[in-house]
Amino acid sequence: MTHARQQDAWNHTASVLAMLANVNRDPKKGRAFKPTDFHPMPVTKRAPEPPPLQGDIRMLKAVFVDKAP
């Protein structure tokens, strides 16, 4: 939870810093700054979720549905 709070605070600060840098930059001399240019903690990307398993569910049906009470 502490990490998320720090991350959120740095997201805000990096956005403000990027805005200030872009207001004061010369557009002819370089590209526009992005908040990631000022963010000290790299944002970790999540691994893509694996696709759902495709398979035969007859065994599950036999165990849970066809089971006599």
Q: What is the 3-state secondary structure (H, E, C) of the chain?
A: CHHHHHHHHHHHHHHHHHHHHHHCCCCCCCCCCCHHHCCCCCCCCCCCCCCCCCCCCHHHHHHHHCCCC
Query: What integer best gives the mean pLDDT of the chain?
Result: 87
pLDDT tens, position by position, 30-61: 999 999 999 998 777 788 888 887 777 787 88
Give me the pLDDT at residue 58, please: 81
Q: What percent of the chain has pLDDT over 70?
A: 97
